Amino acid sequence: NVLTMSFAPKDEHEAQIQFALERGIPAILSVIGTQQLSFPNDAYDLIHCARCRVPWHEDGGKPLLELNRVLRPGGFFVWSATPVYLNDERHVSIWNSMVALTQSMCWKMVTKAMAPTGVGLVVYQKPTSPSCYKERQKNDPPMCRTTARNASWYTPLQRCLSRLPGGASRWPPFWPERLTAKPLRLPPTLFVEELFHNDTKYWSDVVSNVYLGGLGINWTTVRNVMDMTASHGGFAVALANMPLWVMNVVRIHEPDTLPTIFDRGLIGVYHDWCESFSTYPRTYDLLHSVFLFSNLPERCNVIDLAVEMDRVVRPGGWILVQESKEMIRKIGAIFRSLQWSVNFYNDRYMVGKKSFWRPNGGEIQR
């Protein structure tokens, strides 16, 4: 009952993210460098870094402060790296810097352990109360100035402590109750709560009555799914009992529902569909979208988006698109030009299957 998200940069890890996706494990290309990760604040229950060479303490501690931003209050950071267990001068210096930094962030060292092999690890826990922040002798690192809408898309790393949300001491319900319980960060308005519950009910009905039996998709071949228009994550919840996982994508120009998706125990990222998605080619079994093409910003191009979907889907994989009658005919022609087989249902749904064709001497082999 644990859902993981692996991330690593493309250049230094020899396609490990591609290997993870090929094994059916949730993963994305990402790096802690100069910009914030494309996750909301307080997203993850636990963050793990083994054989970890990230210089957390450098640049004023910005890399570790970014982990603090995406770690849920009360969440854990498990760190296994040479500064934890080697005693030469360089590693001791790094360890001392980490001790000072974590103490200034009010992180609690839960345990420091050594395996019989000599490899060690340390476990830290993020606080659930802001009282420690107020009691620090020195306001360094300072508190971040704003707790406004999460906006980590193309945002530089910040040298500050993100403020704890209201109700930080509460932990979400255990799985699987967490999927359907009211998320802790759902805005407390009747309108938003109705949207949340209606989203869950709608996708439960559509998936069971339409998607699983009426569209010709062989779901037994599907291991990983991307919901390109995730909203509150109701589509992923409707698939929760199937042997697959869903990457929930929240568009940056839409309402910010990604915190509630993480509160439900699901995973996801922010993205702008005018740009390429941060993954290798041919890594997803099925892409799902609802009125994505119709609601593209003017600066985006329908053909470019279709080509990006073709890049991401494996040969033999699927797209499941819900659009207006006029739009599905338009994009159906585009995917047919890319050698996909395309079928329409009820003038509302388009199902496409990617072929294995390769160009050979100007002719197409299927």
For 255-270, write each residue's pLDDT tens digit. 999 999 999 999 999 9
38 and 123 housed in the same domain = yes
Q: Rounded distance, CA 332 to CA 243, Å?
A: 29
pLDDT at 366: 53
Question: Could you tell me if residue 232 is left (phi over 0), alpha (psi between -120 and 50 degrees) or otherwise beta?
Answer: alpha
pLDDT at 147: 57
Domain closes at, from 84, 119, 135: 135
- Which DSSP symbol is given to 208? I
Backbone angles phi, psi at 114, to 5 degrees: -125, 135
* CATH at residue 128: 3.40.50.150
> Which own/partner pairs from 27-30 qualify as long-range (CB within 8 Å, at least 24 positions apart)?
28/247, 28/269, 28/278, 28/279, 29/278, 29/279, 29/280, 30/278
- The segments of the chain whose pLDDT lies below 50 read none
Residue (of 94, 75, 19, 21) closest to 247 by Cα position: 21
pLDDT at 16: 85
Q: What is the pTM of this model?
A: 0.94
User: Which residues face 269 on adjacent strands?
Assistant: 249
99 and 182 housed in the same domain = no
- Return the structure tokens found at 321: 């698109």
122 and 189 housed in the same domain = no
Residue 156 lies in a domain: no
Domain count along the chain: 2
Amino acid at 135: E
pLDDT at 113: 94
196 and 334 housed in the same domain = yes
> 255 lies in which domain range?
177-365
352 and 252 housed in the same domain = yes
pLDDT at 365: 52
Q: In what order do the strands lie in the sheet with 284-290?
A: 267-271, 245-251, 224-227, 284-290, 313-322, 349-353, 341-345
- DSSP H helices, 172-268, are 177-180, 190-206, 234-238, 258-263
pLDDT at 169: 80
200 and 335 housed in the same domain = yes
pLDDT at 51: 83
- Return the structure tokens found at 28: 């994305």
Domain closes at, from 115, 135, 155: 135
